Amino acid sequence: MGKGGEYKMSVEILMSCMYQNDFSIVKKSNIQSDAIIVNQTNIDKVEIKEYDFGIVKMISTTERGLSKSRNMALKNSTADFCVICDDDEVLTDNYVEMVEEAYNQTNADVIVFNIKSMNINFRPQEKFFEKITKINKYKSYSSVHVTFRRKIVNDNALSFNSYFGSGSGFYSMAEDSLFFDDLHKCTDKIYTYPGIIAELYSKDSTWFKGFNKKYFYDTGAFLYAWKPKMVHLLKWYYVIRLFKKTELSVPEITKQLNRGIKGYKNKEIYKE
């Protein structure tokens, strides 16, 4: 409760990480609110630690896959507003107040914040949002930008597609795009906000190995999961945009996209 008995909206970090042996990531990531930390490791256990700012629950699990990790955090969340986070982020000191202020100003269901890239050689700095703007229904953002009102996710039973994302064993990317598209289907109250919510210290990608055959196969799978009725039109966007960035020929790119489309229909992994 806030002052005078008023209800104070709660903010919770939903973090995915791996092989943590203790709670040191709380300080490393500058977490200053309640948090659910899903730690993919070699044991299954749940630990809870109280801080001056709130309660942190660490769920250690032998389950693998980024989407499954995100879903486990969603399932365990109890807050009004959720902030998706990875272990290579350092949250800004005022992120709790920023999230509260942003939702009070907009009455949004989803807000996308700025992220400051600290390793621009690996991940170039994206253009900062300079004002509050409603997001086009065809636009999506990577998870590290995303916050949402938990009620909109719960009421619509939303989750990350576990066939997609790092560690899924199927298709190595685009889980965040599919989740964001599901948010668009549930609400039109989705906005950008000019505040910087975190610094991002990007590391080598666990899945991107260049525009190779598997990249286009996985892209075909994503396109079918995203827009099955438009997939054979949308695939040409990737052919046209990327054919100069790969050693693959246009027929080979198209072949792998088509293989991925068929592969997702049958839930088949990439094979040479």
Contacts of residue 63, defined as CB under 8 A and 6 or more positions apart, other chains included, come to 40, 69, 72
pLDDT, tens digit, 9 for 90 and up, residues 11-52: 999 999 999 999 999 999 999 999 999 999 999 999 999 999
Q: φ, ψ for residue 85 (rounded to 5)?
A: -145, 150
The pLDDT tens digits of the residues spanning 117-136 come to 998 777 778 889 999 999 99
Q: Is the pLDDT of residue 7 over 70?
A: no
pTM comes to: 0.92
pLDDT band at 174 (very low <50, low <70, confident <90, very high): very high
> In order of start, what are the domains of the chain with their CATH numbers?
3-200 (3.90.550.10), 213-266 (no CATH)
154: Cα within 13 Å, side-chain hemisphere? 13
Q: Could you give the angle at which helices 213-226 and 250-266 cross, rounded to 10 degrees? A: 50
**Confidence at residue 272, expressed as pLDDT on a 0 to 100 scale:** 85
Q: Where in the chain does DSSP place strands (E)?
A: 11-18, 34-40, 45-50, 55-61, 81-86, 89-91, 110-117, 133-134, 146-149, 190-200
The answer to whether 80 touches 149, Cβ cutoff 8 Å, is yes
How many whole angstroms from its chain centre is CA 122?
A: 18
